[in-house]
Amino acid sequence: MTTYRISEAADLIGVSDDTLRRWAEAGRVPTSTLGGRTVVAGRDLAELAESLARHPDREQSRAASVSARNRLEGIVTRVVKDTVMAQVELICGPYRLVSLMSTEAAEELGLEPGVRAIASVKSTNVVVERP
């Protein structure tokens, strides 16, 4: 049977060690002890990974699920919406970034002046997400 140490298992599913430990303590994923270390059985980890893919946790870090490498945290300074599209402006350090997205997406993210957000820049696209 394949087993993974907590740190290995956390890396594989894209969460922190602490998150996986909390989930184990809450009974979300079974663990056992092998050689004095807490481990997760490969099958149990696979079931958890499938569950996360079907129902992602809102609190889970999205860094592992985003392919953009240039992620800039900042503050939303302006949101202009019409019935279909929204223009979202952010200040990320010394940079001003503008993203165009659907109005529905901007509302779902709760984007409004003063909220923290992360701009993920890939090629000519700016993807905005909440931390």
Burial class (CB in 10 A: 0-12, 13-18, 19+), 86: buried
Please tell me whether residue 122 adopts helix, strand or coil conformation: strand
Sign of the torsion angle spanned by Cα atoms 93, 78, 114, 60: negative
**Domains and their CATH numbers in the chain:** 3-61 (1.10.1660.10), 66-129 (2.40.50.100)
DSSP letter assigned to residue 82: -
Phi, psi of 84 (to 5 degrees): -115, -45
pLDDT (tens, 9 = 90+) of the chain, 131 residues, equals 788 899 988 888 878 889 999 999 999 999 999 999 999 988 888 888 877 776 655 444 444 455 556 788 888 888 999 999 999 988 887 788 899 999 999 999 999 888 888 888 877 667 777 87
Measured from the Cβ of residue 59, the count of other Cβ atoms closer than 10 Å reads 7
**Could you give the CA distance from residue 108 to residue 110 in angstroms, rounded to a whole number?**
5
Which pTM value belongs to this model? 0.47
